[in-house]
Structure 1
Amino acid sequence: MEREQELEWKAAQSIVINVELIAAAKSQLEFLAAVDKNRWLYEGPALDKAIYRYNVCWLPMLEKHSESPFYEGPLVVPLDCEWVWHCHRLNPVRYKSDCEEFYGRILDNHCVVSSVRGISEKKTEEIWTKLYPEEPYEMDLTSIHQDNNSGKLGSQKFTKYDLVLAVKRQSPFFYQVSMPHMKNDRYLEGAVARYKGFLHIIRRNKERFIKSFSVPTYDIDLIWHTHQLHPASYCKDLIEIMGKVLEHDDTDSDRSKGQKLDTGFSGTTKQWEGMYGSRYWRAGGMYRGNAPSPVRMTPYSNDIGARKVAASYENQNLRDVKVLEVMLEFVSVRNLPVEHKGSLLVSFSKTQPDAIFNAKRSLTILSESGEKQVACFQCESTGQLLFELISCSTSSLLVSKTSKTMGSMSISLEDFQSPDSNLTVEKWLELVPFSNISDSKPICLRVAISVTVLTPAPYVLRMIRSQPFSKSSCLFPLPVRVQFAKSWTRVIDEGGNEIINLQVRYSKKSKSKKNNIRREVVGIPKSGETITLAEFVEKQWSLINSPWSLQLPCTNNDDGHLLELTGPRTVRLFLGGRLDYESKHCKKHKSEDERNLMTAVEFSAEDPYGRAVALIDLKYGTLKVKEEWFLLPGSLLAFMLGNVSRKEGYNSLTISGKSIKKEELTEEVDGFPAEANKMNLISGKKEDLEIKVTKMNSVTPIKGGGTSCAGCGGGGCGGGCGNAMRNEASAGCGAGCGGGCGGGCGNMAKCGGCGGGCGTKLANGGCGGCGGGGCGGGCGNKLANVTGASDGCINGQPKQAINQANEILVA
């Protein structure tokens, strides 16, 4: 920072806030998670009744307790009333005026604890019952359709503030701040510092009579919300900071270019970077796009809770991979040679490429191009980021471009993991030249990097099938009939380590019965013994020597799942990428991709609406698993779904000796419903597909315009396809309380062919994005998430290869 910028940052950090913001932010996240498990509070009659109870019961009770406590100790607010109170307080100006109008003072939360903190509410319930004998302390969901405006509870004071709309605006907020790093102290310390910087910008604008609409990133917004939830302190603090209570305008949600959020975020970015000399964007704090669609509209009613399950591969030494999200921008360059001509760009890669990020990509330099480009990607935390400065020039005679690498520099990712690191760095790095340069001063590049704290990465397994023995093979070793010989499938991890070998075995139980085929799945782990893992019995598969059982949907299938795995936990399989794995593709490609995917969703008391634990990709033979306990069940499911019902490579499968075409498959086969079996059919014969796999991993710079922008959410810094293998969520820029701009495909699974339809360039901190686009441009390489890297599509699918041995290749 320049001296003036350092002084401004110091002035911002001198702001005093009389709330323990880090602890309170964690409490807020805990509460929002509890509300998200009770989604009846988001809309409908239950919300209407919650608003009624809040106005008629909770606020009057709070007013009496704050004036003359009923007992020593805090009140415990009911969950429904707390949610409405939460949303009311997030309009601090209106909440202050309502409280003063009805009760003569601000009703604060200093004598209240949340219902989710585990403190006994017995005393509160006793007082509640005395005050409101006809209204239970806990909301009675069976009576939500009754008329609650009968006036039985006496004088009623209802705010005119539309709390239904307030709740609607706040409901999506939890998704934006629900990532694990948001609960980390180091990350939150940075968020508090940035919140003070945000307030200081607004204060400076007020002092200079500058009208502006400042838009926070989501890490700042979390802390801003936390401050507002302490209304007395918030009002006192803000009056001392800037002479008035700062409004929190969450009424705008349109992130498209040129709208209020778009221009507000652009202006805030420009002011921040000019005032403090550091980047406004932050890894893990940007707009993630819309929340994925739920798999259920009602909570799962089974009482089975999530019980501990022994690790499936605990003796297989699977890699424990930790990842971090990285955002990167090249800000400026200095001491260029006098003779230098042409444009500059900087390529970036890892000195030690890992299974998550093995790309080499490039960005322009803001000071040279006037075009803000920010890359967002995930990678392992080991090794160094390597930067190479490249000079590009165009020959007018040959009409061709030539490039020259001028030198390189690097920065260690491990430096960000030290306890002293604030997870961001912006500094000048000195170039190590590749050739002698006459100038005495070394070339320097200003690099801005932001990372999140480390989080566990999902396990990624691949299934590689060997070729079955042919009839003419002289090496065929087994004295069994050839038609029952099947290939082995090797299950390997990302490092290429073999975990287990799997095979389906068919044999006739007796010669007297027709179609009496016994089917079983056997495996050979590293120990070498052959074990039976699953058996097909009475039209369904059962897992042997395991607490799990696989079942077809019951008659009252209320969420459309295809299969259910029951045991210590309840896991249902749904067609397509769901929840965390929801596809962000354009509609043109989405249907083709979805039929090859299945999402495993766990249901429990902790996650009544479902939590995605794995994604099975039958076309490419991959399994992404978040939890170690699901590795073996998930592997068996992926193997059986991908192999049992398919005659390899053709648009039909053989059932009891009869060839059935895909369009004729309407009944369950081998214990799997028709929908599941249809997924296993590859469109067309193997030889009709081009044998070509582009083995790449992608990072797409966030920029406006051009074919490398994702632009899935509107304005802001655009998007970025990111890494396909592990990072299924999005990064993209923008934010706000309902705010921010930006968005983008982000780091999503199988995001192919982003580009097309993106907005303007992010010059001088400006905002771009396409405002709701999606993919656009070419199909790209959907497996490796490469934008603009493909030769096109075949029937809406990328030109992928399936080799003659039917080995599944995964980039």
Structure 2
Amino acid sequence: MDKEKDHEVEWLEAQKIEISVDLFAAAKQQLQFLATVDRNRWLYEGPALEKAIDRYNACWLPLLAKYSEASVSEGPLIPPLDCEWIWHCHRLNPVRYKSDCVQFYGRVLDNSGVVSSVNGNCRSKTEDLWKKLYPEEPYDLELRKVDSEHISEKTSALEKCTKYDLVLAVKRQSPFYHQVSRSHVNNDIFLQEAVARYKGFLYLIKTNRERSLKRFCVPTYDVDLIWHTHQLHPVSYCNDLEKLIGKVLEHDDTDSDRGKGKKLDTGFSNTTAQWEETFSTRYWKAGAMYRGSTPAPVTTSPFASDVLSKEPTVKDDSQNLIQFPEVEVVEVLLEIIGVRNLPDGHKGKLSVLFSKSQPDSLFDSERRLTILSEVGEKQVAFFQCEPTGELRFQLVSSSPSKIPVSRELKSLGFASLSLKEFLFPVITQLSVEKWLELTTPSKGGGKADPNPIGLRVAVSLTPPTRSPSVLHMVESRPSCNDSCFFSIMRKSRQAKSSTQVVDETQAEVITLQMSDGATVKGDHTAQRQVIGVLDSGETRVLAECNGSFWSLLDSKWSLNQTNANPLFELLGTRVVKIFSGRKLDYEPKHCANRGNDQDFMTLVEFSKKHPYGEAVGLLDLRLGSIEAKENWLVLPGIVSAFIINTLLKKGGGNGFNVTTKVAQQESLKSNGLKEETKETKLVSTVKANGETGAAIIAPKKGGGCGGGCSGECGNMVKAAIASGCGSGCSGECGEMVKIANASGCGGGCSGECGDMMKAANASGCGGGCSGECGGMMKAANASGCGGGCSGECGNMVKAANASGCGGGCSGECGNMVKAANASGCGGGCSGECGNMVKAA
């Protein structure tokens, strides 16, 4: 207890650090500014950036110096957006900014009296002053007049011009917005906790300096956001840091190598260890970790359209035609810290099984974590769930059983933690670390244990956000005894078959049918229709083919084919372009093998807010599922997906000629024209597609999580203290209790890796496991499920040097207790392998 009080004292001392800036309000303003710059990406590179740097040196800094010397203008000073962006990046090297200002102007040029260009409503006075001082230079940068040939010559001729490479400074700062652009970052509680954590970060630096320790401290992204905010107030930052540590604190953003053992990785590991030793709280935090590299853009120039000037309708009556569940989601980071009051003489290996008391559509499994105090290694679980019910923990002890390759589990008790404690009726905190007392079933009415076993649990989560709607198309035909998962690539179809659209609980949302239209003299007319059958039994025409395009939802939308990528356009009061592959937020991260990327199409909305596009949906061509991030997209997205699926299946026909386009051939021919096996089934959706918890059925063959996938890291219970999710993995890696020398889920795991107790030198689920790998107790030097396992591998207790399910297992492998040097189910097992106790 005394030690815990010492940690509390350290934290309270950290919170006493004086900062002469309202960091909370300033951080919100910085987020707004960064969003505006991101809508004007010409500021990131090229001649426009060089011109902005020239204007910054020649115009803005001299104007700021004159303004700070005397009142040359009434009211606040408002910089042009381009100048403010360069100023922003210059200030984020506070030591260099200070020296440049002192060299050229004799003092640090501050931002007091300056209002951001995104907040200034009365910029006319600044414009008038600018015109007097620089009559030949317009206040706003005119891109069409940028002449790159003379910019460098003019800049080098300036008497007061920093030699700091501002082009590289901008290049380093441009990706930062991607890391902090998620909606939860702007939440008041999240930012308040970030300010407190920033003070804790400064306290560590102060402590190191007092002890003459040279340590490279690396912030999480919530802390880094506040650190940036502080630096943007240069006079306050210099004064605050000189008072705290006797010098202006450097902000080293030059190192971006996150490789194992590199400076950034080692610094982050050491910072994590020092933080947790000093404050006895967790440094890693949900929503504050590295998201992976910035996605490649779908366009290098902003999209312009008359539609963008219109305000989208708030409510579309067609949305009322169908009912689908609206689900909220939180991201959770869980770590088991310690255990106390174990029974005398206890023997066995401890671990914790965790689940939800009320399984939901996002999290419905039981997973395992080891305990930090028992194994001495940081092991965490990242996952997403609905913000309801309780997290349930069971402490178990495992010991060798009579079967040599397995272990018996003994329950030592249960505990739970209510999510309401965080979120309802209002969000009060987003992190908690506490001791939970375990309860055990009473025996014979005995008295409660006066010294119950305790489990120390650390949980952090993000504020709730709307989860994307994920819907699946299931073909309904008399020949199917059960729901067959719809695949557009199946060649043999009955013309009048209908397609049920179901949600993740398999509840039917709507039924769709494609009518072939009337026949005139043996030729089909262009009048094809999509008919929707509602829950009430009512039928509605949802789309009609009008020659070269489809009219959707009483002409509120139109679906058009284009001549390149994007392949289609969905136009209405919004502009949505449909690109081949996974783009923007859905882009696979750090995956060398991206062959399966062409099984997807990304729906990208272009708007004033997102002129370079925002990913709003994802279509899985092979498995027939569609995700929609926004409610307005659900119905037009379903209808569009159904049309595209149907026409691609038939090779075109009326409406679109999908076989003549080179881009479509590239996206479909290599992978899309293969017939699905009859065993393809609706499996439980996995969360492996990005920040919002996109739930998409993953394909059989692909890069999957690999070195880093684009969703959540799931239960990467050994991710040896790395920056963010490790080498970039942000998908759900299941219960990989130990993944020595492995890169996340492995070469191609795109689902949940199940309960891989040990997968040393293995690629996780293997080359193409897209389902659950079950309880793979040991798969040394193995590829997990094998070359193409798409179902559940059951309990592969030991599969040394084996390929798991085998070359093409698409069902469940049952309990393969030992399959040494064997291919599991064999070369083409497509059902359940039962209990293969030994298949050496």
| Cα deviation 1:507-538 (Å, max 9, x = unaligned) | 4332x243447421111223432221212232
- Distance in 2 (CA, whole Å) between partners of 1:388 and 1:753 is 16
1:562 matches 2:553: no
CA gap 1:58/1:210 in 2 versus in 1, 3 angstroms: same
- Given that 2:517 and 2:524 are in contact with CA atoms closer than 8 Å, whether structure 1 keeps it comes out as no
1:549 matches 2:558: yes
Counterpart of 2:786 (choices 780, 784, 792) is 792
- Given that 1:753 and 1:775 are in contact with CA atoms closer than 8 Å, whether structure 2 keeps it comes out as no
Match of 2:578 in 1: 573
Q: What TM-score do you get using the length of structure 2 for normalisation?
A: 0.81
Which amino acid in 1 is paired with 2:58? V
| Cα deviation 1:636-682 (Å, max 9, x = unaligned) | 111112223425xxxxx5969xxxxxxx984269xx96567658945
- Distance in 1 (CA, whole Å) between partners of 2:352 and 2:136 is 70
Match of 1:706 in 2: none
Deviation at 1:546, TM superposition (A): 2.6
1:359 matches 2:365: yes
Alignment of 1:451-600 (within 5 A): 451-467=461-477, 485-510=495-520, 512-516=521-525, 518-543=527-552, 545-553=554-562, 560-584=565-589, 586-588=591-593, 590-591=594-595, 593-600=596-603
1:686 matches 2:685: no
Deviation at 1:453, TM superposition (A): 0.9
Which amino acid in 1 is paired with 2:241? L
- Distance in 2 (CA, whole Å) between partners of 1:96 and 1:785 is 56
- Given that 2:330 and 2:385 are in contact with CA atoms closer than 8 Å, whether structure 1 keeps it comes out as yes
- Given that 2:711 and 2:732 are in contact with CA atoms closer than 8 Å, whether structure 1 keeps it comes out as no
CA gap 1:754/1:157 in 2 versus in 1, 3 angstroms: farther
Alignment of 1:261-280 (within 5 A): 261-280=264-283
Counterpart of 1:106 (choices 108, 116, 128) is 108
- Distance in 2 (CA, whole Å) between partners of 1:44 and 1:775 is 41
Counterpart of 1:308 (choices 298, 308, 312) is 312
Which amino acid in 1 is paired with 2:624? G
Deviation at 1:491, TM superposition (A): 1.6
CA gap 1:420/1:398 in 2 versus in 1, 3 angstroms: closer
Match of 2:455 in 1: 445
Alignment of 1:203-242 (within 5 A): 203-242=206-245
User: Which range moves more in the overlay, 104-113 or 394-403?
Assistant: 394-403
1:337 matches 2:371: no
1:758 matches 2:742: yes
- Given that 1:76 and 1:124 are in contact with CA atoms closer than 8 Å, whether structure 2 keeps it comes out as yes
- Given that 2:618 and 2:626 are in contact with CA atoms closer than 8 Å, whether structure 1 keeps it comes out as yes
- Distance in 2 (CA, whole Å) between partners of 1:493 and 1:693 is 11
- Given that 1:202 and 1:214 are in contact with CA atoms closer than 8 Å, whether structure 2 keeps it comes out as yes
Deviation at 1:122, TM superposition (A): 1.3
Deviation at 1:693, TM superposition (A): 6.5
Deviation at 1:494, TM superposition (A): 2.8
Alignment of 1:13-24 (within 5 A): 13-24=15-26
Which amino acid in 1 is paired with 2:303? Y
| Cα deviation 1:572-593 (Å, max 9, x = unaligned) | 10111111111247433x21x2
- Given that 1:76 and 1:119 are in contact with CA atoms closer than 8 Å, whether structure 2 keeps it comes out as no
Deviation at 1:137, TM superposition (A): 0.8
Match of 1:476 in 2: none
- Given that 1:596 and 1:618 are in contact with CA atoms closer than 8 Å, whether structure 2 keeps it comes out as yes
Which amino acid in 2 is paired with 1:202? I
CA gap 1:329/1:677 in 2 versus in 1, 3 angstroms: closer
- Given that 2:743 and 2:763 are in contact with CA atoms closer than 8 Å, whether structure 1 keeps it comes out as no
- Distance in 1 (CA, whole Å) between partners of 2:467 and 2:162 is 47
- Given that 1:710 and 1:758 are in contact with CA atoms closer than 8 Å, whether structure 2 keeps it comes out as no
CA gap 1:358/1:313 in 2 versus in 1, 3 angstroms: same
Q: How many residues align?
A: 736
Match of 1:661 in 2: none
Deviation at 1:262, TM superposition (A): 1.1
Match of 2:64 in 1: 62
1:782 matches 2:778: no
Segments of structure 2 that go 5 or more residues without pairing to the other structure are 481-491, 690-703, 745-760, 777-782, 791-806, 813-840
- Given that 2:58 and 2:155 are in contact with CA atoms closer than 8 Å, whether structure 1 keeps it comes out as no
User: Which range moves more in the overlay, 103-112 or 496-505?
Assistant: 496-505
- Given that 2:715 and 2:732 are in contact with CA atoms closer than 8 Å, whether structure 1 keeps it comes out as yes
Deviation at 1:161, TM superposition (A): 1.1
Match of 1:120 in 2: 122
Deviation at 1:598, TM superposition (A): 0.8
CA gap 1:597/1:697 in 2 versus in 1, 3 angstroms: closer
Partner SS for 1:175: helix
- Distance in 1 (CA, whole Å) between partners of 2:354 and 2:61 is 56
| Cα deviation 1:179-214 (Å, max 9, x = unaligned) | 111101101010000000000111111111111111
Alignment of 1:248-287 (within 5 A): 248-287=251-290
Which amino acid in 1 is paired with 2:343? P
- Distance in 1 (CA, whole Å) between partners of 2:4 and 2:122 is 53
- Given that 2:647 and 2:653 are in contact with CA atoms closer than 8 Å, whether structure 1 keeps it comes out as no
- Given that 2:584 and 2:615 are in contact with CA atoms closer than 8 Å, whether structure 1 keeps it comes out as yes
Q: What TM-score do you get using the length of structure 1 for normalisation?
A: 0.83
Match of 1:659 in 2: none
Deviation at 1:610, TM superposition (A): 0.5
- Given that 1:488 and 1:503 are in contact with CA atoms closer than 8 Å, whether structure 2 keeps it comes out as yes
- Distance in 1 (CA, whole Å) between partners of 2:466 and 2:681 is 32
- Distance in 1 (CA, whole Å) between partners of 2:634 and 2:83 is 41
- Given that 1:790 and 1:799 are in contact with CA atoms closer than 8 Å, whether structure 2 keeps it comes out as no
- Given that 1:646 and 1:681 are in contact with CA atoms closer than 8 Å, whether structure 2 keeps it comes out as no
- Distance in 2 (CA, whole Å) between partners of 1:655 and 1:543 is 18
- Given that 1:292 and 1:578 are in contact with CA atoms closer than 8 Å, whether structure 2 keeps it comes out as yes
- Given that 2:599 and 2:667 are in contact with CA atoms closer than 8 Å, whether structure 1 keeps it comes out as no
Which amino acid in 1 is paired with 2:366? K
Which amino acid in 1 is paired with 2:455? L
CA gap 1:678/1:149 in 2 versus in 1, 3 angstroms: closer
- Given that 1:376 and 1:732 are in contact with CA atoms closer than 8 Å, whether structure 2 keeps it comes out as no
| Cα deviation 1:341-360 (Å, max 9, x = unaligned) | 12100011001000011121
1:430 matches 2:437: yes
Match of 1:603 in 2: 606
| Cα deviation 1:580-637 (Å, max 9, x = unaligned) | 111247433x21x222211110112221111111111122221110111111110011
- Distance in 2 (CA, whole Å) between partners of 1:580 and 1:156 is 44
Deviation at 1:722, TM superposition (A): 2.8
Which amino acid in 1 is paired with 2:453? I
- Distance in 2 (CA, whole Å) between partners of 1:533 and 1:425 is 49
Partner SS for 2:163: coil
Match of 2:78 in 1: 76
- Distance in 2 (CA, whole Å) between partners of 1:252 and 1:787 is 40
Counterpart of 2:391 (choices 385, 390, 396) is 385
- Distance in 1 (CA, whole Å) between partners of 2:478 and 2:218 is 60
Which amino acid in 1 is paired with 2:713? C
1:90 matches 2:92: yes
- Distance in 2 (CA, whole Å) between partners of 1:774 and 1:542 is 50
Deviation at 1:152, TM superposition (A): 10
Which amino acid in 1 is paired with 2:435? W
- Distance in 2 (CA, whole Å) between partners of 1:393 and 1:774 is 25
CA gap 1:336/1:56 in 2 versus in 1, 3 angstroms: same
CA gap 1:226/1:494 in 2 versus in 1, 3 angstroms: same
Segments of structure 1 that go 5 or more residues without pairing to the other structure are 471-481, 648-652, 657-663, 701-708, 725-730, 761-772, 803-811
Match of 1:292 in 2: 295
- Distance in 2 (CA, whole Å) between partners of 1:41 and 1:733 is 37
CA RMSD of aligned residues (A): 3.7
